[in-house]
Amino acid sequence: MSRACALLPIVLALAACATGAPKPAAVAAPAEPAKPAFALDEASVADLQRRMSAGELTAHAIMQQYLDRIAAIDKAGPALNAVIELNPDALASADALDAERAAGKVRGPLHGVPVLLKDNIDTADGMQTSAGSLALVGAAPTQDAAIVARLRAAGAVILGKTNLSEWANFRSTGSTSGWSARGGQTKNPYVLDRNPCGSSSGSGAAIAANLAAVAVGTETDGSIVCPAGVNGLVGIKPTVGLVARSGIVPISASQDTAGPMARSVADAAALLTVLAGADPRDKASWDADKHAADYVRALDAGALKGARIGVLRKQANFHKEVNAAFERSIALMRGAGATIVDPVEIPNADKLGDAEMTVLQYEFKAGLNAYLATRRGVPVATLAELIAWNAANADRELPIFGQELLELSQKRGTLSDKAYKEAQATIQKYARKEGLDAVLKKHRLDALIAPTNNPAWTTDPLNGDHYTGGSSGVAAVTGYPSITVPMGQVRELPVGISFIGAAWSETTLVRLAYAYEQLSKARRAPRFLPTLP
């Protein structure tokens, strides 16, 4: 496996990372461990809203049940370690929203619904925003991230923050996904010694295990779709600019976006409807209102009929059981009336890996320095200070892997450098103009499909991630949208299928993903197995 692949899910050499994995012996799985019963198990956003409207539940009661669930299986029991911090104001917020409902005011589909946020998203409340780093623990941010303001306005209750791969997995070439110095290691709820992927590790594990209704993750390359895929979830990586990034710890202005992680396409669509929109603090989002929509209205079980879907075969060289599930998915779509164009190849994809890494390093340095300038009461104000702080606190911050990517980024110059501009031009040419845009136009496609991921690897703090393949890079480097949907399980481990489209094609992708989901019904709740045979 190439070093670029080992950086996943942040850095993906587009065509080089899809490798097979050895097949384990076919023996029985371990016995399912006992776990507490949960009244809201697999409850959807619509379910919660309906029960509150009927007076069966209050937002306070829902919040308390999720808090009890977190205590029972995140902090005790399987000890998933997905939630890094709880919001001390959650119950009070729920009470206020219950009072609004009693007075006849309901803000929308998320009114009173608990949402978890990845811990790189600013909240100006009683919680920290740390990106998993002890260097950002101190005073809370002074302003909510734009998407947090939108969530609060929509009546959502911020239940807490989720653990993540520290610095969104952009700290080391030997990192372990789901680990942060502040939060420790998150487990995969399906098989506890397997990795939850990252960097939105806690968001993926938490929603899979029913610790909240929905969560928000962030992605630069794979950090929503990979943890969604290996945790049996729907994850949406929107077009860059549809969801504002102000108040989110950055990696790349070209590729960063926040997005929904949920147990169903309908829940993800409801959350994306709230998240999407312009923000004056993020120039990339200034046209978002022209493209944002009510994505719940796009849910159409018959949407595959007449759709033209291209198969990315070079991204489909996965474990043979993943490939088999992918073939079954293609057959389902064809049977539902889709025209399948197979294969479709994105030319020159192999030319993008080095350009992507160059862009990420330049933009990380510029973006992080700008973000740190907004924080008060924390011990670092620049990337250089962060590197020095980590070295001075190596026993706590660097116990299992280093900070090579931080150091490489610090060595980069400014965004006016020739190397940065050339790398950006390479991506624009080969990824967009002569890449995804050309392929979609040539074949008149509504979307491309590929497996999202191979089954989760064992967590290995000594050697780091053993990532064996994914398809996130196609959408990541272009800044275009993708949606992963559960495709099945391989030996108890979930795998997903990704729908990838043109810029601003979220409505189309939601329609297709929902139609596929209704046919496949592939999501299975986790059983918290300790290991595989």
Residue at token pair 């996943």: 8
Burial class (CB in 10 A: 0-12, 13-18, 19+), 25: exposed
Residues sharing a CB contact under 8 Å with residue 139, sequence separation 6 or more, in sequence order: 375, 376, 377, 378
**pLDDT at position 31:** 55
Please confirm whether the linkage preceding 399 is cis (ω < 30° from 0).
no
Q: Would you call 75 a catalytic residue per the annotation?
A: no
Q: What confidence score (pLDDT) does residue 12 get?
A: 37
Choose the catalytic residue: 44, 200, 223, 505: 223
Residue 285 DSSP label: G
Q: Let me know: does 435 contact 346? Beta carbons within 8 Å.
A: yes
Catalytic residue among 165, 172, 175, 199: 199
> What sign does the CA torsion over 190, 191, 197, 199 have?
positive
Q: Give the span between the Cα atoms of 451 and 484, in whole angstroms.
A: 9
Catalytic status, residue 482: no
What does the buried/exposed string (b/e) look like for 497-529 if buried means 16 or more CB atoms within 10 Å of the residue's CB? bbbbbbbbbbbbbbbbbbbbbbebebbeebbbb
User: Helices marked H in 70-177 — which ranges?
Assistant: 90-102, 146-153, 166-169
Q: What is the pTM of this model?
A: 0.94
| Cα distance between residue 468 and residue 457, in whole Å | 8
Nearest-10 Cα torsion for 191, 116, 277, 511: 40
Other C-beta atoms lying within 10 Å of the C-beta of residue 345: 14
Q: Which of 118, 187, 237, 365 is catalytic?
A: 118
Please give the Cα distance from 504 to 508 (Å, whole number). 9
- Catalytic: 118? yes
Strand partners, 219: 257
Query: What is the full DSSP assignment across 197-217?
Result: -SSSHHHHHHHHTTSSSEEEE
Thinking of the domain 40-164+176-520, which architecture would CATH place it in?
A: Alpha-Beta Complex (3.90)
Cα(190)–Cα(270) distance, integer angstroms: 26
Cα 170 from chain centroid? 15
Supply the pLDDT for residue 36: 65
Encode the chain (533 residues) as per-residue pLDDT tens digits. 333 333 444 333 333 333 333 333 344 445 555 566 899 999 999 999 999 999 999 999 999 999 999 999 999 999 999 999 999 999 999 999 999 999 999 999 999 999 999 999 999 999 999 999 999 999 999 999 999 999 999 999 999 999 999 999 999 999 999 999 999 999 999 999 999 999 999 999 999 999 999 999 999 999 999 999 999 999 999 999 999 999 999 999 999 999 999 999 999 999 999 999 999 999 999 999 999 999 999 999 999 999 999 999 987 779 999 999 999 999 999 999 999 999 999 998 888 989 999 999 999 999 999 999 999 999 999 999 999 999 999 999 999 999 999 999 999 999 999 999 999 999 999 999 999 999 999 999 999 999 999 999 999 999 999 988 899 999 999 999 999 999 999 999 999 999 999 999 999 999 999 999 999 999 999 999 999 97
How many residues are listed for the chain in this entry? Answer: 533
C-beta separation of 117 from 216 below 8 A: yes
Which of 223, 233, 230, 246 has the alpha carbon at shortest distance from 167? Answer: 223
> Which residues, in sequence order, are bridge partners of residue 85?
161
List b or e across 433-442, with b for residues whose CB sees 16 or more CB atoms inside 10 angstroms: eebbeebbee
